[in-house]
Chain A
Amino acid sequence: MATESLTYIFINAALVNNFVLAYFLGICPFLGVSGKYETALRMGGAVTFVMLVSSMCAYGIHWLLLQLDAPYLQLISYIVVIASTVQLVEMFIKKFSPALFRALGIFLPLITTNCAILGLALFQTSKGYNFVQAIFYALGAGVGFTIALVIMAGIREELDLADTPAIVRGTAIVLMVAGILSLTFMGFAGLGG
């Protein structure tokens, strides 16, 4: 497994096995934050950044736990690290760029409960990626998440203008659109091999 090329890992995480549309990770922000194009783009950026940092931390923790012979602590320590990374990022952004902090608003703390982040840390561990591969995997996953979110937001902005029946408005129609998007992304299968 450890011999996969870096481009393969990136394309695989971003398109072929898109975290949102193929693995169903991060559905909550996908349904909740995809109303507006602008916020979707910012949310994608923040998630990508947290993914990158927590993926690097997860690599270190996994190594440390192996040394301590305590793999059963894996889940607990991952979630603690992710929660504190999000907190750290929040404080960092608040200090250095108050404008960006205001723009992201409530979405920053919500990243903690985004299953895509924890999922990424777990997948990267089970696939046995080395440090550089893990970074590319995290980048790909973040880009894939952003792509899915932005496409969805674009469709939903148009959908608001469309004349849909009353009972499909809200989550039902978004799920139907997501299904079609998911089928579209299946077309990427075999790419980057």
Chain B
Amino acid sequence: MNTDPAHLSTNEFIKGLWRENPIFVQVLGMCPALAVTNSVINAIAMGLATTFVLIMSSMLVSSLRSFIPRQVRIASYILIIATFVTVAEYFIQAISIELHKNLGAFIALIVVNCLILGRAEAFASKNTIWPAFLDAAGMGLGFTFALICLGGVRELIGNGTLLGYMIFSENYQPWIVMILPGGGFFSLGAWLLLFNWMKSRKERLNLAAENSR
């Protein structure tokens, strides 16, 4: 086990991106993951807004961790998160009305994203500001990455475009169903399938390596 501090802090950052990816591995924060991923742009905006709220609230929770009484901690976390979500909502409204309309109520619904409350409770309330920041940044980017994966598949198959550019030829017949709600469930199910398959393959390989030793 490598315990030098620099390695540990990269570890906090990397784990959210892949090994403990919030969507694909922990299956947290599903509502926005399914609702706004009908195009890549929406997915990126949602991912970045969530990352912002996650980082800011994790840092605040971690810096206030010795002041908040244990009994009212969940309520205080929710208040902190709600404050930053309000900031994010007004910011998005200021830069692009159209984006704000596309994401709709789902920006406000970041408040009840279990991922943010989960990180505040499980990590930020027990660590100092720097590890809390790294953890939040890693989880946030992992969340954004997963959202882009979902949005990419849905936009490419459902509309034949990526980021608004045509990818397939003119005669491509788009599968509208992938843009519709059902497609969200299908594509997330397919991604989880892929991750399960990779996990079981790795386990099989490890087992084979152990047996041959």
Contacts and interface: CB of A to CB of B under 8 A. Distances in A.
A118 B188 CA distance: 24
Counting contact residues on chain A (CB < 8 A from B), the size range is: 35 or more
A176 B105 contact: no
A72 interface: yes
A24 B34 contact: yes
Interface of A: 21-28, 31, 72, 75-76, 79-80, 83, 112-115, 118-119, 122-123, 126, 166-168, 170-173, 175-176, 178-180, 182-183, 186
B168 interface: no
A27 B34 contact: yes
Contact of A175 (B78, B83, B185, B200): B185
Interface string B14-30: 00000000000001001
Q: For the complex, would chain B's binding face be called helix, strand, loop or mixed by DSSP majority?
A: helix
Contacts of A180: 182
Counting contact residues on chain B (CB < 8 A from A), the size range is: 35 or more
Contacts of A25: 31, 35, 109
Given A25-B31, A26-B31, A83-B78, A113 B112 contact: yes
14 contacts: A24-B34, A24-B35, A25-B109, A27-B30, A76-B82, A113-B114, A115-B31, A170-B196, A171-B27, A172-B189, A172-B193, A176-B186, A179-B182, A183-B182
A76 B112 CA distance: 12
Contacts of B167: none
A2 B85 CA distance: 29
A182 B111 contact: no
Given A171-B192, A179-B186, 11 more contacts: A24-B34, A26-B31, A72-B90, A83-B78, A113-B114, A119-B109, A123-B105, A126-B105, A172-B189, A175-B188, A182-B185
A75 B86 contact: yes
